Chain A
Amino acid sequence: MTTQLEQRQTTKGAVQVEGLSVTFRNRGQETHVLNQIQLGIKPGEFVCLLGPSGCGKSTLLNVIAGFIKPTAGYVMVDQAPITRPGADRGFVFQQYSLLPWKTAFQNIELGLKIRGMAKGDRTELVHDYLNRVGLYKHRNSYPHQMSGGMQQRASIVRALVNSPSVLLMDEPFAALDAQTRHMMQELLLDIWEDLKTTVIFVTHDIEEAIFLGDRICIMGVQPGHIKAELPIGLRRPRHFDDTLSAEFVALHRQVFECIREETMKSMEGCL
């Protein structure tokens, strides 16, 4: 028997961002946030978006999710233009976002229930995933009874259980302590090796971006654009020891230099 967890879905999840611009209008004041973003992502690729605060990382992710309409340009997932949010694009939020009135199980089950999957199939699939991330014991806990790490694991599984083509993650581990964050990164990679879902992962943590990604897109400010792209050739599966390797340290320095310029630019006038 093959469960969904063992399937590989390397054929779907191609993302094409074409000439994407976003301008916010608030009380007559215009903020040009994203300018002519061009980005192609292969099915099954793990891409990290890295950039200083306020450069528009969340905005770009929100456009791909369909939460925000672009001012110009478009996003296509598997050749279909994005017009609204949908279950084919899973989202993991930075804030703890489990529904407080549902248990871990009910939260994860919700997408399947909405889709109309039969109760028995639903339960089996959700239990598989709960086991996979070590939450089976806590399946009947409410979010307030779970630690931050547990809540984020449940949020990731809530998105993945719908087998999305793309998994969008907006600084999902930023609120966790360093130890938990490292464990979550390894867990995420572990699941991703199995599922090979396309992942777009927003972070401002250079080490996290290098450790996770196949490719890093470094974003610049004023207005937000993609300044540089860097393939990460580190072998997979990756382990936390790899962060100490000479190759990793060299990449870190390279990214750091690139980001520093942008951070200086975004701080201009503040210093």
Chain B
Amino acid sequence: MAVSVPQMGYPRWLGQLGQALSSLFFSSRSSRRMLALGLFFGIWQLLCAVNFDVFINFQFVPSPVEVFKATLTFFTENPWVHFRSSIGRVFWGYVVASGLGVLLGIMIGWFAVVEDLLLPPLELLRPIPAVAWIPLAILMFPNAESGMIFITFVGAFFPVLISTINGVESTLSDTVLIRVGQCLGAKPWHIFKDIVVPGSLPSIASGLVIGMGNAWFCLVTAEILAGRYGIGYITWESYVTSNYPPIVMGMLLIGLMGAASSWAVSRAMEALMPWRVIKKQGSV
């Protein structure tokens, strides 16, 4: 009796439709994710269509359809040079940042001397936003290209560094793990190689994923220095020339490439850590 009460008042077909929809969209996690994206663009289009203006004003925001048109135009006139330039700048900045960040992070976490010598200046530089580095980047580097790589480097470096230090320190604070090594006769080198490095890997991985996103995050800033090419450059230039749909296109392309490369990094790191299982609430 009580069970049928909530269904009263609805036509039968409505319940069936709801069930069909929910089995379509909520049965698997990937369809749920598609639904989330669909809703995001749908709501955006709707807000533009009704000229939504309550505190936040959507009247001048390009709608998804306009952005899509701008994207089509962009792709018909040689977009690859822009992609190639931007991907190169992010890639090299990220490679140097992750290499240096992991190396210094491990050294700072492991050796007290290195911590004392390196951490204070690094902590001083850490809060400085990438955009504030632009003048110095122009003054310090021989050409715009290396200056731009430096800006994406700045974005990626600190998350990698800090996460690596945290990973090493938290592994060292795990008394049992360290003692396990000690009573197997491990010298500091073995403890480092067999316990500290793998133990800090999850933390290093999260630093690398965040760093990847941050490198893209700094792309527009970096490409303020650019002469002609780059996704960030187009975004910035469209703003200067008040051509709005390409701005949003540039933003979305950066978002897309940032998300894709972060995903690739996190997959690669998962492959390095086959011992990890992550079981979430509600995952199958």
Query: Footprint of B on A, CB under 8 Å?
Result: 65-67, 84-87, 89-91, 93, 95, 97, 99-102, 110-111, 114-115, 142-144, 158-159, 162
In whole angstroms, what is the CA distance A54 to B180 when docked? Answer: 23
Contacts of A101 in B (CB 8 A): 198-199, 201, 273, 275
In the complex, which residue of chain A has the Cβ closest to the Cβ of B179?
A67
Instruction: Return the CB mask of B187-225 against A: 1 if under 8 Å, else 0.
Output: 100100011001101000000000000000000000000
Contacts of B2 in A (CB 8 A): none
Q: State the majority secondary structure of interface residues on B.
A: helix
| Residue in B176, B185, B273 whose beta carbon sits within 8 Å of that of A86 in the complex | B185
In whole angstroms, what is the CA distance A183 to B154 when docked? Answer: 58
User: 6 more A-B contacts (CB under 8 A) besides A65-B179, A95-B176?
Assistant: A86-B185, A93-B176, A97-B176, A100-B275, A101-B199, A159-B183
Residue among B179, B198, B199, B277 facing the most chain A CB atoms (10 A cut-off): B179
In the complex, which residue of chain A has the Cβ closest to the Cβ of B195?
A99
The answer to whether A87 and B183 touch across the interface, beta carbons within 8 angstroms, is yes
In whole angstroms, what is the CA distance A100 to B186 when docked? Answer: 17
| Residue in B184, B273, B275 whose beta carbon sits within 8 Å of that of A111 in the complex | B184
In whole angstroms, what is the CA distance A211 to B245 when docked? Answer: 80
In whole angstroms, what is the CA distance A219 to B274 when docked? Answer: 44
Least CB distance from B118 to A in Å reads 28
The answer to whether B194 and A110 touch across the interface, beta carbons within 8 angstroms, is yes
In whole angstroms, what is the CA distance A67 to B182 when docked? Answer: 9
The answer to whether B194 and A99 touch across the interface, beta carbons within 8 angstroms, is yes
The answer to whether A85 and B179 touch across the interface, beta carbons within 8 angstroms, is yes
The answer to whether A99 and B198 touch across the interface, beta carbons within 8 angstroms, is yes
The answer to whether B185 and A87 touch across the interface, beta carbons within 8 angstroms, is yes
Contacts of B194 in A (CB 8 A): 99, 102, 110
Contacts of A95 in B (CB 8 A): 176
Contacts of A100 in B (CB 8 A): 275
With an 8 A cutoff between CB atoms, is B177 at the interface?
A: yes
Least CB distance from A256 to B in Å reads 31
In the complex, which residue of chain B has the Cβ closest to the Cβ of A143?
B275
Contacts of B185 in A (CB 8 A): 86-87, 111, 114-115, 162
- Contact A144 to B275, CB < 8 A, known contacts A99-B198, A114-B185, A114-B186: yes
In the complex, which residue of chain B has the Cβ closest to the Cβ of A100?
B275
| Residue in A89, A99, A143, A158 whose beta carbon sits within 8 Å of that of B177 in the complex | A99
In the complex, which residue of chain A has the Cβ closest to the Cβ of B184?
A111
The number of chain B residues with a CB under 8 A from chain A is 20
In whole angstroms, what is the CA distance A90 to B176 when docked? Answer: 14
Contacts of A115 in B (CB 8 A): 185
Contacts of A85 in B (CB 8 A): 179, 182-183
The answer to whether A114 and B184 touch across the interface, beta carbons within 8 angstroms, is yes
- Contact A87 to B184, CB < 8 A, known contacts A101-B198, A110-B194, A144-B277: yes
Contacts of B176 in A (CB 8 A): 93, 95, 97
- Contact A162 to B180, CB < 8 A, known contacts A101-B198, A101-B275: no
In whole angstroms, what is the CA distance A95 to B176 when docked? Answer: 8
The answer to whether A91 and B275 touch across the interface, beta carbons within 8 angstroms, is no
Identify the 4 closest CB pairs spanning chains A and B, nearest first. A87-B185, A85-B182, A111-B184, A101-B198
Least CB distance from A113 to B in Å reads 8
In whole angstroms, what is the CA distance A95 to B175 when docked? Answer: 11
User: 9 interchain pairs (CB within 8 A)?
Assistant: A65-B183, A84-B182, A87-B184, A91-B180, A93-B176, A99-B180, A100-B275, A102-B194, A102-B275
Contacts of B273 in A (CB 8 A): 101
Contacts of A162 in B (CB 8 A): 184-185
Contacts of A144 in B (CB 8 A): 275, 277
In whole angstroms, what is the CA distance A48 to B194 when docked? Answer: 32
In whole angstroms, what is the CA distance A182 to B278 when docked? Answer: 32
Least CB distance from A108 to B in Å reads 10
Least CB distance from A232 to B in Å reads 27
In whole angstroms, what is the CA distance A84 to B274 when docked? Answer: 34
- Contact A97 to B177, CB < 8 A, known contacts A142-B274, A144-B277: yes
Least CB distance from B188 to A in Å reads 12
In the complex, which residue of chain A has the Cβ closest to the Cβ of B186?
A114
The answer to whether A110 and B184 touch across the interface, beta carbons within 8 angstroms, is yes
Contacts of B190 in A (CB 8 A): 114
In whole angstroms, what is the CA distance A144 to B182 when docked? Answer: 23
The answer to whether B184 and A158 touch across the interface, beta carbons within 8 angstroms, is yes
The answer to whether A142 and B275 touch across the interface, beta carbons within 8 angstroms, is yes
In the complex, which residue of chain B has the Cβ closest to the Cβ of A67?
B179
In whole angstroms, what is the CA distance A143 to B180 when docked? Answer: 15
Contacts of B187 in A (CB 8 A): 114
In the complex, which residue of chain A has the Cβ closest to the Cβ of B273?
A101
Least CB distance from B203 to A in Å reads 13
Least CB distance from A164 to B in Å reads 8
- Contact A86 to B186, CB < 8 A, known contacts A95-B176, A144-B277: no
The answer to whether B177 and A91 touch across the interface, beta carbons within 8 angstroms, is no
In whole angstroms, what is the CA distance A142 to B185 when docked? Answer: 22
Least CB distance from A92 to B in Å reads 10
In whole angstroms, what is the CA distance A87 to B184 when docked? Answer: 5
